[in-house]
Amino acid sequence: MLQNVCKIAGRARSSGVPARFASVWAKVEKGPEDPILGVTVAFNKDTHADKINLGVGAYRDDNNKPFVLDCVRKAEQKIFEAKVDHEYTPIGGSAAFNKLAQSLVFGEESAAVKAKRIVTVQAISGTGALRVGADFMKRFVDVPLGPNGKKVVYVPQPTWGNHIPIYQDAGMDVKFYKYYNDKTCGLDFEGMANDLKTIPSQSIVLLHACAHNPTGVDPSPEQWKAISAICKEKGHFLFVDLAYQGFASGDPERDALAVRLLVQDGHNIGVSQSFAKNFGLYGERIGALSFVTASAEEAERVESQLKILIRPMYSNPPVYGARVVSEILASKELTSLWRTEVKVMADRIIDMRSSLRSLLKEFGSKRDWSHITNQIGMFCYSGMKPEEVDALARDHHVYLTRNGRISVAGITSKNVKHLAKSMVDVTKGL
Amino acid sequence: MGCGASSASHNVSSSMSKPTGTASSSAEQKVVRRIISAALIPVESENSFTNMASWFDKVPEAPVDPILGLNAAFKADPAAHKLNLGVGAYRTEDGKPWVLSSVKRAEEIILNSGKYNKEYLPIDGLPEFNVASARLMFGEQLYEANAARIVTVQSLSGTGGLKIAADFIHKFMPHATVYISDPTWANHKSIMSLAGVPWKAYRYIDRATNGLDFGGMVADLDAAPDGSVVLLHSCAHNPTGVDPSTDQWATLADLVHRKGHFVLFDNAYQGFASGDLDRDAYSVRLFLQRGFQFIVTQSFAKNFGLYAERIGACNVITGNEREANCVRSQLKLISRATFSNPPIHGALIVSIVLSNAELTALWKSELKSMADRIIRMRQVGCPPNLALVSASSSPSSSSSSHHLLLFLLRLVALLVLFLRPDRPGSANMLLLLLCVVPAWTSLSECRLCIALDASRSCSIVSYGWVPVDRAATDSIVC
């Protein structure tokens, strides 16, 4: 028997790579570099003392330092002292965390929450929630197929860059609906409404709940009502990306307004929730995915299918970030502290917007920069052209992405004057 | 370009349509039809927008995960006598989870040093972790010799690493079928299916002997088309625990070379299997040494006890540095669209331990103690009838069969007592006492365990009362 086996396997003990392997790697091309990362790379290379990085997608304090929230530190201390283990969580994450995450988004008093018809599972931050949500919609949400024979997701123009590969990797096509008006640097509401009406009925539509990324342009409450009505009439399936709850206005309830309105209007929505910015827990990758269903029984079925999707992706989610968030939201004292701190972050952003706008005027720019304060959240679509952005980098050591997107988190009281002067210079006082 | 008037308060234009009663367009008709056809919900009127048909009413209930679902079932079981022989997580002699001291020390450093914040890791993970992980896998020498062509990306434990590998295989080896062992970890099949990679089974276990069916394995891998992907467990095969010998690994390497197969190693138990990190890495290092290109995933769930932190790595061995850079960029695209960047906590713990000589030494000794306990449990031999009874995971054994068992065990003890008189007198006395304890005392909650060494027919190795809820491995714990 052994002889036969050896015969089959061959006695030759050569090392070296068989020729056929070369073809596998030869086909692998270098993937495109992340554009936002490119900004940081260029910034790091620059040795100028007054350089400013406006590409950063994380909050910075007024000294331009990363900020770990005090409520987080306190929660971590408690967790450490409790000497917890590292045992696997359930596939959908811990029930305690999921309940707290759900209440934060939908409100404890929500009828849907009380009726247990919302299913919430822990996710790998916002991206993970979007991805599992995408896989779920691909498998179960019955919408007409697009021209490529795939389900289509309609996203705003523009949207967060990563939305597109997430949906594509999940096997769906991405199309755009009008959103940003680059003449007004505000919302193209008519264009958006019209597109939502003319796309096929029962389409999947992605909405940003607040602090639209990358423009900072949000619909008003009245506009949200109108959007809800249009989508209802068309029977669209709505998926809401909520990455900045509390971080946009400083008020978590106010930032969840769109989500709660849609649920109240009877939409059964999907929601991706991130705790990266509002809890400063970026690298811990803590988020949640929710679906609002018709009944508690339906919610259970949906949950069972979400687990089937999660298990082959990563089996069960990382526990540490969930523990921190749970510790905070389960404690009145720590929740209160969190609310104070998230307001501090939001207020600093709002202050910097205000400072920048008034300084631009003070330094002689004739342009209307009101969109800087009209827009909300971490990002501001400045309206600057690619050539102006290049000039900012080249002549003033100010770095941002070429679409003119400023991360307001990178502005401080110490650098805002330099920034304003630079912007006035490259836009030639227009 | 200037921006026009403030856009803060758009007037809601008259083009906004309110829901009307006239469902004239075909799109609106479709919506109404859908509502009607969803028989659950009564249609009040065409304007009944508060009673939309549910998107999810056709979503079927999925079966519970065969492994992880068992945990839930165990927890839900109210019976006093229950055993959990399901989930693959280490337990101490007291049946408890174990947090390693080396891990605790690393967590203390993270908390108190003031050096660490919560910023995003790079898409491919913590660089220090990636290097440490690869060093551990391949050993210092092999790693140094091959570093330029090795790509390591941090992954969500072993599962996450396999998913990255599966997505990569799907994209860049679109015609390949993956060959997986029969049996294998159930999730392997789900991972390949989700990634759209077809899989087939190769023979692995000889169910008559519970040993390796090496001939069958070789025959099946030889019959597979050239250039197939072969999933191999580098050590501590899950679920059989049966591994090829070093000679058999050499034979497999020859076969892989001859057939031009591409190997995907699942390496989830390095150090946890034998207690020796290098020994458990033998198969992977053999393949690297032989010059193969392959993928090996790593999990730190078991060997660091970091299960829920989801820390692992996916290593791709390419041909050269240029290829490595291309492959790395492609793996990053996969990760970016799945989770953007991986979680810090587990990566920091592993990297802190492995960068500190003292903590590494502590970790290695703790790892060895875990492996040793498992090996000890396996070595406590049992005659077939006793082993069968004690290994039963049936949670609801009736008390009458329980009493019957006690009676039988006492009978055996009696027989042993009288048939082996060369025992010290004190042991004989103890055995006698054990035999006469009545079954209906509170000790009936315990099980009299007699461990008999099967190699020396029926001589007693150990005995004692064992609480029935102690989680045992596949042997009696005494």
| Residue B3 to residue A234, Cβ atoms within 8 A | no
- From A40, which residue of chain B is nearest by alpha-carbon distance? B122
From the CA of B343, how many Å to the nearest CA of chain A? Answer: 5
- Is A368 in the active site? no
Across the interface, do B291 and A15 touch by the CB < 8 Å criterion?
Answer: yes
Residues A293, B54: C-beta atoms closer than 8 Å: yes
Q: What does DSSP say about strands A52-53 and A180-181: parallel, antiparallel, or unpaired? A: unpaired
The b-or-e profile of B14-41 (16+ CB within 10 A means b, else e) is eebeeeeeebeeebbebbbeebeebeee
Are A185 and B61 a contacting pair at CB < 8 A? no
Nearest CA in chain B to A372: B6
User: Which positions in chain A touch B148 (Cβ < 8 Å)?
Assistant: none
Comparing CB atoms, the residue among B10, B34, B117 nearest residue A220 is B10
The mean per-residue pLDDT over the stretch B143-155 comes to: 97
Identify which of A34, A58, A311 has the shortest CB distance to residue B119.
A58
Q: Is the Cβ pair A190, B51 closer than 8 Å?
A: no
Distances (CA, A) of A315 to A127, A318, A338, B61, B443: 17, 10, 30, 19, 40
A–B interface: beta-carbon pairs under 8 A: 362
- Contact flag A317-B310 (C-beta cutoff 8 Å): yes
Digit-by-digit pLDDT tens for chain A (430 residues) are 444 444 444 433 334 444 444 545 667 788 777 777 778 888 989 999 999 999 988 999 999 999 999 999 999 999 999 999 999 999 999 999 999 999 999 999 999 999 999 999 999 999 999 999 999 999 999 999 999 999 999 999 999 999 999 999 999 999 999 999 999 999 999 999 999 999 999 999 999 999 999 999 999 999 999 999 999 999 999 999 999 999 999 999 999 999 999 999 999 999 999 999 999 999 999 999 999 999 999 999 999 999 999 999 999 999 999 999 999 999 999 999 999 999 999 999 999 999 999 999 999 999 999 999 999 999 999 999 999 999 999 999 999 999 999 999 999 999 999 999 999 999 986 6
Residue A61 to chain B, least CA–CA distance (Å): 13
Instruction: Indicate yes or no: CB of A282 within 8 angstroms of CB of B118.
Output: yes
How long, in residues, is chain B?
478
Q: How many CB atoms lie within 10 A of CB B195?
A: 21
Contact A127 B339 (CB under 8 A): yes
State the pLDDT at residue B302.
Answer: 96
Chain A residues lying within 8 Å of B325, measured CB to CB = 30
Please tell me the distance from the alpha carbon of residue A65 to that of residue A419, in angstroms, as a whole number: 18
Q: Which residue of B has its CA nearest to A60?
A: B119
B23-43: pLDDT as tens digits? 445 555 555 555 554 444 433
CB contact under 8 A, A86 and B289: no
Q: How far is A302 from chain B (nearest CA, A)?
A: 7
Among A44, A160, A212, A313, most B C-beta atoms within 10 A, so best to mutate, is A313
Chain B residues in contact with A31 by the CB 8 A cut-off are: 326, 329-330, 332-333
Any idea which of A104-113, A371-380, B394-403, B447-456 has the lowest mean pLDDT? B447-456
Alpha-carbon distance A301 to nearest alpha carbon in chain B (angstroms)? 5
Interatomic CA distance for residues B287 and B297, integer angstroms: 14
From A138, A277, A338, A369, active-site residue: A277
Distance of alpha carbon B73 from its chain centroid, rounded? Answer: 19
Both tokens of residue A243? 């990455």
Q: Is residue B1 scored above 60 in pLDDT?
A: no
Active site residues of B: 185, 266, 302
Structure tokens at B430: 């103890």
Percent of chain B with pLDDT over 70: 69
- Tokens read off for A262: 């849609």
Res B421: pLDDT: 56
* Nearest neighbour of A305 by CB, restricted to B34, B59, B258: B59
Is this complex's ipTM strictly greater than 0.90? yes
User: What is the pLDDT at residue B423?
Assistant: 58
**Per mean pLDDT, which range of A312-321, B249-258, B281-290, B384-393 is the poorest?**
B384-393
Catalytic residue list contains A277: yes
Q: B34 and A202: CB-CB below 8 Å?
A: yes
With 70 as the cut, is the pLDDT of residue B475 above it? no
What's the pLDDT at B28?
58
- The verdict on a CB contact (< 8 Å) between B27 and A89 is no
Q: Which residues contact A109 (CB under 8 A, 6 or more apart)?
A: none
Beta carbons of B424 and B460 less than 8 angstroms apart: no
Q: Which of A51, A135, A138, A160 is catalytic?
A: A160
> Which pair of structure tokens corresponds to residue B337?
């669209």
Residue A379 tokens read as 């990002």
The enclosing H or E element of B387 equals helix B384-390
Among candidate residues A241, A255, A338, A369, the one labeled active-site is A241
Instruction: Please name the member of B1, B18, B157 whose beta carbon is closest to the beta carbon of A385.
Output: B1
Residue B105 with chain A: CB contacts under 8 Å: none
Find chain B residues with C-beta within 8 A of A185's C-beta. 3, 7
Which residue type is seen at A86?
H
Contact B326 A370 (CB under 8 A): no
pLDDT value at residue B401: 63
**Selected residue of A25, A141, A306 to mutate for chain B interface (largest B Cβ count, 10 A):** A25
Option in B13, B173, B342 nearest A285 (CB): B342
In the prediction, which pLDDT does B391 show? 33
Asked whether residue B89 carries a pLDDT value surpassing 80, the answer given is: yes
CB contact under 8 A, B118 and A280: yes
Report CA dihedral (A180, A181, A185, A189) to the nearest 10 degrees. -80
